[in-house]
Chains A and B, each alone.
Chain A
């Protein structure tokens, strides 16, 4: 670590950003126009270049971890659009996550935020059983009429004041969860070409069980034997993005151990954040000589659903007359953690365009974050809504019948935006669209 004369680094303990990471930025500024928070404020400190500089300042000991520092780190969406645009190949995500880990570790955020995160991410999401039980209660509230009487319940009431107006932002809890309804091993009717593990995910499982079902059906149609390990836990991405590295590592370790016990070709998932994070398992345990290889072998086999289907030659094999989307105008929103974190943008488009009879149109600024960003729409409601506004305006301008996207967070967020505007546009996960289009 390069340190200013006589200064002590403000970072300590786990996850100190490396000198290499910190010094890669050549401060050219090319990332600025792609950053949603910079576009909101026009201020350098809410730009990627500015954030890197203040992280470096803390690392060198010329800045301390101040309220302003904490604010900027949390104001960042971690959308990683800056990584895509950076000529120097900066690993911005690793830097901001390292900074957040420091903030979390040293409890710089104020008690309420720290313990809320600890309970929500560390405790609730860390055990999938716990999450499901909590979700059941939430569903009870969501569907009961108590809600209409007292006007609460649609949202996670963890940060009560901040989210009082974010009613439709909490995921709508499914009736039953895919981790309960799906069999542990499902074999296709046709010759099985691949053995794949399905990551049911945490949000996907409790709120989008039907999308998991769509995914399974597509995989079967594609000739896959699908394994759904019962004891799988949340992948750890939510925790890592919010600085709780210890919980994230525990979850990553659990899943690595669990999946390693199976014989499989790929782990497939339909949630962008999970894919991006699981592809980093190898990197996370890089220094753990005992575990690194195992984690790496998992990472190497992680695929987003669209990546897997496209790269293994998926054929829609559909009957023109049965295509319910015939003649429809379809567009696609890139989830940040697909396009920026995993560089997946061609594959979903190719799959969508392979459905005959639809009219595909590009969405202007399709790679611009929708403002969902994990729990950002709860912790930063107003900023998130401004960012969403831009997405909705672009959708309006494109005027599609259907918007497709590949991530649960984006589905919740964009649906919220469409509802607010009373726009009658169908919003579908890529898996759902493909399944229905293929009539499987």
Chain B
């Protein structure tokens, strides 16, 4: 419960026009991109000034309610889904690119700027911002920083954290601080800026972000390679990297995904093959030519069935579309699509995929796999229907097993989507307890009243939040389906 007097105070901080609590508003801010999870907030606020954010955070400390920052709500781990007694704080309307500094190759942006818009803007100036999550058309940079988002170009260019020079942030006590800056080197004290990257809205609310830019690569070349056997594809990947070539993009699709893509987009892909690789190299035209030739030789050595190389940008776009539509193609098969995210060391990709296949069969589930072969980041995607409670329960079991296998193989339970609500139980189960304890301690010191996005990443002690449903009827269907076992 948030007292109505508290809500009135909130209203007076942001103004009538920026405070919403109708049933419609609450419903549309009860979810993000994460399947299966949702919860209504008590209210939604749209602050216009950082001072307002600061006052809201102070009020939350005094009157004990929770604040859930939200960008575009495309997150896949439930980061911006409300928790109990929380308000949603919108930042997507803070959408100005404040400065592109071409001399220092840096850009100050507001947190609500859409990733793709920033990219288009800097590319028109011959500059480049490499992180490109699949959701770049809608994700905000604030959301990217909070989730430390990755993307297709991770292998060569790294992820969001490699491109953050600084930020202005409202801390859990309401203080506003500026961390980092345009100088590339800075070792004055703890590296607080990096500490806030990937904090999923639990340690601060970004109000400005300073991005690092690089010169735009001169040219690029795109190729699509088909393989009869998955192992051949995987060995090609290892060989490419072992021979000191770092493609900008090195993506793979498995057979189920290829068949769904073909069904949906009719790209004339062979549907019997076990894997395809999308490879893109960029840089100086002469080097590109050399790299493409070398890659082709390596793939042939590993029995590539066919190698398609694009001759112009139009063809390149066509080849790329095989990977680009993968998610759409899978999403159409069943009403609910659970896009997951695990990483393993590159050398373990084949074992991981074998395990996923085994687990899927065991639980009679349909899985499509695709992902960033270059950096070992896989997206096992379960095609299901949230109305079928027993199937969803099977899916949950399957994911539990998949995450466990990933950790056993030396990987992580999430490569880029974050922990949020969706994976906190796995984090607790699969991370060494001193590490978890350290995270908890940090959160407790910085945010003693748990006002910023509480219950995300790890549940706050006591472990079981909120009362159990009192009416056994409410949970009967879940119990019948074997839940809580």
Interface residues of A (CB under 8 A from B): 2, 5, 20, 23-24, 26-30, 32-33, 42, 44-45, 47, 49-50, 53-54, 57, 62-63, 66, 68-69, 72, 87-89
Contact of A68 among B22, B72, B95, B116 (CB under 8 A): B22
Contact of B138 among A26, A33, A72 (CB under 8 A): A33
Task: Judge whether B24 and A72 touch: CB under 8 Å.
Answer: yes
Interface residues of B in 12-45 (CB under 8 A from A): 22-25, 27-33, 35
Interface residues of B (CB under 8 A from A): 22-25, 27-33, 35, 72-74, 90, 92-93, 95, 114, 116, 135, 137-138, 325, 327-328, 331-332, 335-337, 385-387, 474
When distances are taken between beta carbons in the complex, the residues of chain B under 8 Å from A87 are 325, 327-328, 331-332
A selection of 22 A-B contacts at a CB cut-off of 8 Å is: A2-B387, A20-B335, A23-B387, A26-B33, A27-B31, A28-B74, A29-B33, A29-B73, A29-B138, A32-B138, A33-B114, A45-B24, A50-B28, A53-B31, A54-B24, A62-B23, A87-B325, A87-B328, A87-B331, A87-B332, A88-B328, A89-B328
Nearest A residue to B336, CB-CB: A26
When A28-B74, A29-B74 are in contact, do A88 and B332 touch as well, CB less than 8 Å?
yes
Task: Judge whether B331 and A26 touch: CB under 8 Å.
Answer: yes
Nearest A residue to B70, CB-CB: A44
When distances are taken between beta carbons in the complex, the residues of chain A under 8 Å from B29 are 44
Contact of B24 among A23, A66, A88 (CB under 8 A): A66
- CA–CA, A88 to B22, complex, Å? 29
- CA–CA, A27 to B135, complex, Å? 12
Task: Judge whether B24 and A30 touch: CB under 8 Å.
Answer: no
Contact of B137 among A33, A54, A69 (CB under 8 A): A33
Contact of B92 among A28, A42, A45, A53 (CB under 8 A): A42
- CA–CA, A121 to B15, complex, Å? 41
- CA–CA, A122 to B331, complex, Å? 39
Contact of A32 among B27, B35, B72, B385 (CB under 8 A): B72
Nearest B residue to A20, CB-CB: B335
Task: Judge whether B28 and A45 touch: CB under 8 Å.
Answer: yes
When A23-B387, A24-B335, A30-B137 are in contact, do A53 and B328 touch as well, CB less than 8 Å?
no
When distances are taken between beta carbons in the complex, the residues of chain B under 8 Å from A24 are 335
With both chains docked as a complex, state the minimum distance between the C-beta of B318 and any C-beta of chain A, in angstroms. 14
When distances are taken between beta carbons in the complex, the residues of chain B under 8 Å from A47 are 28
- CA–CA, A5 to B474, complex, Å? 9
Nearest A residue to B264, CB-CB: A89
Task: Judge whether A44 and B73 touch: CB under 8 Å.
Answer: yes
Task: Judge whether B27 and A57 touch: CB under 8 Å.
Answer: yes
Task: Judge whether B28 and A26 touch: CB under 8 Å.
Answer: no
Task: Judge whether B23 and A66 touch: CB under 8 Å.
Answer: yes
Excluding A29-B32, A88-B331, 10 further A-B contacts by CB distance (< 8 Å) are A23-B385, A29-B74, A30-B135, A45-B28, A49-B28, A53-B27, A57-B24, A63-B23, A66-B24, A89-B332
When distances are taken between beta carbons in the complex, the residues of chain B under 8 Å from A45 are 24-25, 28
Task: Judge whether B72 and A29 touch: CB under 8 Å.
Answer: yes
Nearest B residue to A46, CB-CB: B28
With both chains docked as a complex, state the minimum distance between the C-beta of A134 and any C-beta of chain B, in angstroms. 38
Contact of B93 among A2, A23, A42, A63 (CB under 8 A): A42
With both chains docked as a complex, state the minimum distance between the C-beta of B476 and any C-beta of chain A, in angstroms. 12
Task: Judge whether B135 and A29 touch: CB under 8 Å.
Answer: yes
When distances are taken between beta carbons in the complex, the residues of chain B under 8 Å from A66 are 22-24
Nearest B residue to A52, CB-CB: B28
- CA–CA, A49 to B29, complex, Å? 11
When distances are taken between beta carbons in the complex, the residues of chain A under 8 Å from B30 are 53
Contact of B335 among A23, A42, A62 (CB under 8 A): A23
When distances are taken between beta carbons in the complex, the residues of chain A under 8 Å from B25 are 45
Nearest B residue to A27, CB-CB: B31
Task: Judge whether A63 and B24 touch: CB under 8 Å.
Answer: yes
When distances are taken between beta carbons in the complex, the residues of chain B under 8 Å from A29 are 32-33, 72-74, 135, 138
When distances are taken between beta carbons in the complex, the residues of chain B under 8 Å from A20 are 335
- CA–CA, A68 to B26, complex, Å? 12
- CA–CA, A163 to B93, complex, Å? 30
- CA–CA, A62 to B23, complex, Å? 9
Nearest 8 A/B pairs, CB to CB: A87-B328, A50-B28, A29-B74, A44-B28, A87-B331, A88-B331, A42-B93, A23-B335
Nearest A residue to B333, CB-CB: A88
- CA–CA, A68 to B23, complex, Å? 9
Nearest B residue to A34, CB-CB: B137
When distances are taken between beta carbons in the complex, the residues of chain B under 8 Å from A57 are 23-24, 27
Nearest B residue to A31, CB-CB: B138
Task: Judge whether B331 and A27 touch: CB under 8 Å.
Answer: no
- CA–CA, A29 to B339, complex, Å? 14
When distances are taken between beta carbons in the complex, the residues of chain B under 8 Å from A89 are 328, 331-332
With both chains docked as a complex, state the minimum distance between the C-beta of B131 and any C-beta of chain A, in angstroms. 17
Task: Judge whether A28 and B331 touch: CB under 8 Å.
Answer: yes
Nearest A residue to B38, CB-CB: A27
When A87-B327, A87-B328 are in contact, do A26 and B337 touch as well, CB less than 8 Å?
yes
When distances are taken between beta carbons in the complex, the residues of chain A under 8 Å from B135 are 28-30
- CA–CA, A57 to B474, complex, Å? 19
When distances are taken between beta carbons in the complex, the residues of chain A under 8 Å from B325 are 87
When distances are taken between beta carbons in the complex, the residues of chain A under 8 Å from B385 are 23
Nearest B residue to A68, CB-CB: B24
With both chains docked as a complex, state the minimum distance between the C-beta of A343 and any C-beta of chain B, in angstroms. 13
Contact of A28 among B28, B33, B90 (CB under 8 A): B33
Interface centre among B24, B35, B73 (most CB of A within 10 A): B24
Task: Judge whether A26 and B24 touch: CB under 8 Å.
Answer: no
With both chains docked as a complex, state the minimum distance between the C-beta of A226 and any C-beta of chain B, in angstroms. 34
- CA–CA, A63 to B23, complex, Å? 7
Task: Judge whether A69 and B33 touch: CB under 8 Å.
Answer: no
- CA–CA, A27 to B335, complex, Å? 11
Contact of A30 among B23, B31, B138, B474 (CB under 8 A): B138
Nearest A residue to B93, CB-CB: A42
When distances are taken between beta carbons in the complex, the residues of chain B under 8 Å from A88 are 328, 331-332, 337
When distances are taken between beta carbons in the complex, the residues of chain A under 8 Å from B328 are 87-89
When distances are taken between beta carbons in the complex, the residues of chain B under 8 Å from A33 are 114, 116, 137-138
- CA–CA, A5 to B469, complex, Å? 14
- CA–CA, A423 to B29, complex, Å? 42
When distances are taken between beta carbons in the complex, the residues of chain A under 8 Å from B116 are 33
